[in-house]
Structure 1
Amino acid sequence: MPLVKHGAIVADDYVAVADDADLPAGGAVLVSAARLFAEAETLAMRNTPVGVAWPNNRDVAGLVPWLDQLSLIALVFPTFKDGRAHSQGRRLREIYGYRGELRATGQVLRDQFTFLLRNGFDAFAVTKESDAQAFGEATHRYTEFYQPTGDGHLSALQLRKQRHKAVAT
């Protein structure tokens, strides 16, 4: 499955580790929410990046104690019609201040790419190579937005105010 990060297809450095499998001695790991809670101390003592696959039916507030220790949160889209992970991503970025990698996994469709970016996602595990190419293009397609979000882009109104202020001075 191709991984798109910051508009480019990249290698996935994380190894998904099943709940009943041994943790590898080194390297970045991606564990389930259940394993994160069951082995929190062991995972915290690792000297390698740790990520969690977080289901969309759990409140992301449960991750708050671990946000500083997690380098990746992979939010799951079980079907393209289920957008709860959009809200989870936005809450992680805007309310809880998470700055690590936020990855969309599962049924992510091309027409959702721009919305995912706006909601704070910066990586996407897509199912098809052609989707990966389309995502790379989508990341550069729009430069101004009307709705303010926590993705770092100023809204169109904020940009207009800045331009007006610059001309007035």
Structure 2
Amino acid sequence: MTLFRSIFQPKEFTGKHMLMTMVAFFGVIITVNLVMARFAVTTWSGLVVPNTYVASQQFNSQAAQSRAIAALGYDVAFDPDADGLTILLTDAHGEPAYASSVTASLRRPVGTDDDRELVFVADGTGSYRADGRLAEGEWIAHVTAMRGEDVIYKKGRRFRIGGDGSLRP
């Protein structure tokens, strides 16, 4: 019976125990906050709309428009270099396509310091070029290609530029 009492006898709760309890409690809270902040910063797409209610009301019509444009089968390939950005526009068969105008809204996933609008000039072979060096890092390009009054391509693409100005996977 004395062995049982000595094992399960309550021990004295000292200041050290209180300090360890407080450090463990706040350590868990701070660690969880840091992990959640890291996830928030690294996974945010950068998508922001001025009025979420209006955007929600327009969602179905914009989704239908995006599906109709995607069904046309056009695609773009980016080719950045030290002096600017070249876009190759191709049709559903992979052949170079013609557009009367090609524009792109370039922005960073987070921040607005480097945001810019580019107007591309056709070279006659399905390639469209805009001058202006892109800084190293992540970019989001919202490319719009028009043929007359019709939108034939409209899509956002995320890409990465290396330190030498080339496209990175």
- Alignment TM-score, normalising by the size of structure 2: 0.20
More strand by share: 2
Q: Which has the higher contact order (CA 8 A, sep 6+)?
A: 1
- Alignment TM-score, normalising by the size of structure 1: 0.20
Structure number with larger C-alpha Rg: 2
